[in-house]
Amino acid sequence: MPLPDPEKLVRAMAEEMRGKIAPDAALVGIYTGGAWIAERLHRALGLGGPLGFLAVTLYRDDFGRIGLHRESRRSQIPFTVDGREVVLVDDVLHTGRTIRAALNELFDFGRPSAVRLAVLAQRRGRELPIAPDFLGELIEVAGDEDLVLSNDNGKLRLAAVKRP
Amino acid sequence: MSHASLQVGPDGRLKHLLTTEGLPAELVRRILDAADQFVSVSERDVKKVPILRGKSIFNVFFEGSTRTRTTFEIAAKRLSADVINLNVGVSSTSKGETLLDTVYNLQAMDADMFVVRHSQSGAAHLIARHVKPGVAVINAGDGRHAHPTQGLLDMYTIRHYKKDFSALTVAIVGDVLHSRVARSQIHALKTLGVPEVRVIAPKTLLPAAVERLGVRVFNDMAAGLRDCDVVIMLRLQNERMNGALLPSSGEFFKCYGLTAEKLARAKPDAIVMHPGPMNRGIEIDSPVADGRQSVILPQVTFGIAVRMAVMSMLGSA
Please list the residues that pair with B197 across neighbouring strands.
Answer: B170
Q: Is the pLDDT score of A1 beyond 90? A: no
Axis-axis angle for helices B25-42, B296-315 (nearest 10) = 110
Are B165 and B153 found together in one domain?
yes
Question: What letters, b where the CB count within 10 A reaches 16 and e where it falls short, cover A61-81?
Answer: eebeeebbeebeebbbbebeb
Q: CA of A106: which chain B residue's CA is closest?
A: B46
* pLDDT above 60: residue A51: yes
Same domain, B197 and B123: no
**What pLDDT score was predicted for residue B97?**
72
Q: How many domains does chain B have?
A: 2
The distance of B79 to chain A (nearest Cα, Å) reads 9
Same domain, B69 and B123: yes
Per-residue pLDDT for A71 more than 70? Answer: no
Claim to verify: residue B108 and residue B198 sit in the same structural domain: no
pLDDT grade for A62, boundaries at 50, 70 and 90: confident
Are B305 and B224 part of one and the same domain? no
DSSP E strands, B77-225: 82-86, 113-118, 136-142, 169-173, 196-200, 216-218
Chain B partners within 8 Å of A66 (Cβ): 316
What does the pLDDT read at residue B317? Answer: 55
The CATH number assigned to the domain holding B73 equals: 3.40.50.1370
**Residues B142, B261: one domain?**
no
Ordered by where they begin, the domains of chain A are 6-162 (3.40.50.2020)
Answer yes or no: do B49 and A58 touch at CB < 8 A: yes
Same domain, B155 and B136: no
Per-residue pLDDT of chain B (317 residues; tens, 9 = 90+): 566 689 999 988 999 999 999 999 999 999 999 999 899 898 888 899 999 999 999 999 988 888 999 999 999 999 999 999 988 765 555 566 788 888 888 889 899 999 999 999 999 999 999 999 999 999 999 999 999 999 999 999 999 999 999 999 999 999 999 999 999 999 999 999 999 999 999 999 999 999 999 999 999 999 999 999 999 999 997 765 556 677 788 888 999 999 999 999 999 999 999 999 999 999 999 999 999 999 999 999 999 999 999 999 998 75
Whole-number Å distance between alpha carbons of A107 and B44: 12
Strand A85-93 to strand B113-118: parallel, antiparallel, or no bridges (unpaired)? Answer: unpaired
Interface test with B, best of A31, A53, A54, A58 (most B CBs within 10 A): A58
Contact A58 B34 (CB under 8 A): no
**pLDDT, position A164:** 84
Q: How far B178 CA sits from the closest chain A CA (Å)?
A: 35
Question: Which residue out of A60, A65, A68 would a mutagenesis test of the B interface target, given it has the greatest number of B Cβ atoms within 10 Å?
Answer: A68
Please count the residue pairs, one from chain A and one from chain B, whose beta carbons lie less than 8 angstroms apart: 48
| Dist CA B90 CA A29 (whole Å) | 52
User: pTM score, two decimals?
Assistant: 0.89
Cβ atoms of A102 and A88 within 8 Å: the answer is yes
Residues on chain A touching B36 (C-beta within 8 angstroms): 72, 74
Asked whether residue B129 falls in the same domain as residue B172, the answer is no
- Whether residue A46 is predicted with pLDDT greater than 90 in this model: the reply is yes
Identify whether residues B14 and B58 lie together within a single domain.
Answer: yes
Split at pLDDT 50, 70, 90, the class of A66 is low
pLDDT tens profile A119-139: 999 999 999 999 999 999 999
User: In terms of domains, do B42 and B172 share one?
Assistant: no
For residue B50, give the nearest of A59, A67, A74 by CB distance.
A59
C-alpha dihedral, B109 to A66 to B78 to B52, nearest 10°: -20
Residue A82 host element (H or E): none
Altogether, the residues listed in chain B come to a count of: 317
The pLDDT value recorded for residue A74 is 86
**Under an 8 A CB cutoff, do B37 and A63 touch?**
no
pLDDT, tens digit, 9 for 90 and up, residues A74-96: 899 999 999 999 999 999 999 99
Which strands form B56-61's sheet, in the order they lie side by side?
B82-86, B56-61, B113-118, B136-142
- The strand pair at B56-61 and B216-218 is best described as unpaired
pLDDT at B165: 98
Q: Are residues B284 and B306 in the same domain?
A: no
Same domain, B129 and B197: no
So what's the pLDDT on residue B92? 58
Handedness of CA B57, B60, B66, B69 (dihedral sign): negative
Q: State residue A57's pLDDT score.
A: 86
ipTM: 0.76
- Return d(Cα B305, Cα A96) in angstroms, integer: 30
Domain range for B291 is 148-295
